Chain A
Amino acid sequence: MTGRERTQAAVSVVSSAGPVATNPPRNVDGVAIAITVFSTVKPWGRAFLPVLFRLSICVPKLTATLVRLSFVHFARWSLVKQIPYNGPPQPKQKLCYAHMYFESNFNGGWEEYIDAFSHIMTSGMAAFWGSSFGFPKALPVGPFKEYISENESGASHYYSAYPQATITMIRSALQLDARLAPLKRDAERMDPEAFQAAYTKMLSDVQRCL
């Protein structure tokens, strides 16, 4: 199955509240989707990418857009400079190029994910993939989707501890917990009318989390 075929299948699987297909792709678990991409890095990227990674950690503003994307649970970039050696019969391979590993765990659809990345993180995409051979720029999105599809490796097994939860649900649930804590703590000590008023206010305050 090509990346594009996986795309379409994934979209159909997560188009409603839960998994509906009888045989969803292996890179899907409930509403969570895995994407795994290796790209070959040009020689200058070998020095540039570690600097970019370090900057991304030290200057959170650079990755603020990623934080705002409300459908990425976890994402990761790694630079593979050598394949760990484990003895024969593994051939000793000295890589001519470094290879960038990218993975993302997201909810939504593959097409929508790449669309959002391309349109919202255009400069960020250029920074992370600009040193990869064949990177066609993030926009227009068609060639970029083709590129990701060509370089994507399908998961044989994918697991999410929260297969039915979108990241919005998880963030809401965590926010809700903080807002609910004072009432949980004080409820027994309050008189009923005061409790009812506090409960009503709390529900009003957290309605966006429900």
Chain B
Amino acid sequence: MRSFNVSGKAYGFLAMTPIKPGEEDALRAYLEGFRDRGERPLSKVSRTHMARWVIVDEFCCKPSYKQRRPETLAISSLVFSSNFDGDLDSYLDDLCSALAPEAGEIWGRCIGCPTKARGAALKAYLKHNQIHCGFFYAAYGDATVGKVKACLDQRERLIAFATRGQGMNAAELQKAFVEEFARR
């Protein structure tokens, strides 16, 4: 049976790392600041379809839930989840290399993270904290990120070409099509 983390060529990775006491606000500010600074660090890890960092402070437990024993997290945790194409090992190699400038500010604020938050040590740390999937669904799991991007681009170009080609004769249309699509 295939791994529960895999759907087609897509892999669902989830790591949950405990945040050092007192570092929660700084970590949250750093992560939220990516957008304010116009940074998209995960775009450097080119096999990433979609990913997120989430800080989890507690598990919800309300009296109306009728839970016999209230339970919450003993320590705030950082959830990192990524949906990517390909195998985990090579992806984490890419991630731990490409995100080296940011990793210290992120996982460096988590307990147990190697002092130099990069490379093999960071990879081992993330794997140690991996939570495996029970069920993973990917709508286009057989397509790599590169394939999806190329196809979206091609679709846009065909839409434009369909309009542009309306006034062309057969020979002009063929020449333009070949230049636009066949020789790329």
Shortest beta-carbon distance from A95 to chain B in Å: 7
Question: Contact between B65 and A86 (Cβ–Cβ < 8 Å)?
Answer: no
With both beta carbons as reference points, the residue of chain A lying nearest to B28 in the complex is identified as: A156
How many A-B pairs fall under 8 Å by CB? 258
Within 8 Å CB of B17, what residues of A? 84, 86
A112 within 8 A of B: no
From B112, B149, B171, A86 is in contact (CB under 8 Å) with: B112
| Overall SS of chain A's interface | mixed
Question: Contact between B134 and A193 (Cβ–Cβ < 8 Å)?
Answer: no
Within 8 Å CB of B73, what residues of A? 83, 93
Question: Contact between A75 and B50 (Cβ–Cβ < 8 Å)?
Answer: no
In Å, the complex CA distance between A49 and B132 comes to: 13
A116 within 8 A of B: no
A150 within 8 A of B: yes
B9 within 8 A of A: no
With both beta carbons as reference points, the residue of chain B lying nearest to A149 in the complex is identified as: B60
Question: Contact between B155 and A172 (Cβ–Cβ < 8 Å)?
Answer: yes
In Å, the complex CA distance between A210 and B3 comes to: 35
From B41, B134, B139, B171, A67 is in contact (CB under 8 Å) with: B139
Query: Quick one: given A83-B18, A173-B151, are A74 and B182 in contact (CB under 8 Å)?
Result: no
A96 within 8 A of B: yes
Question: Contact between B135 and A56 (Cβ–Cβ < 8 Å)?
Answer: yes
From B40, B112, B155, B169, A173 is in contact (CB under 8 Å) with: B155
Interface string of B149-171 (1 = CB under 8 A from A): 11110110011001001000111
A-B contacts, 20 listed (Cβ < 8 Å): A26-B35, A36-B54, A73-B83, A74-B49, A74-B138, A76-B12, A77-B133, A80-B16, A86-B128, A90-B111, A134-B66, A156-B32, A159-B48, A161-B145, A162-B152, A173-B148, A176-B151, A176-B155, A195-B177, A199-B173
> Interface residues, chain B, CB within 8 Å of chain A?
1-2, 4, 10, 12, 14, 16-18, 20-21, 27-28, 31-32, 34-35, 40-43, 48-56, 59-62, 64-67, 69, 71, 73-75, 77, 79, 81, 83, 110-112, 128-140, 143, 145, 147-152, 154-155, 158-159, 162, 165, 169-171, 173-174, 177-178, 181-182
Q: Identify the 9 closest CB pairs spanning chains A and B, nearest first.
A: A86-B112, A134-B65, A156-B31, A53-B134, A192-B170, A173-B151, A159-B42, A196-B170, A93-B74
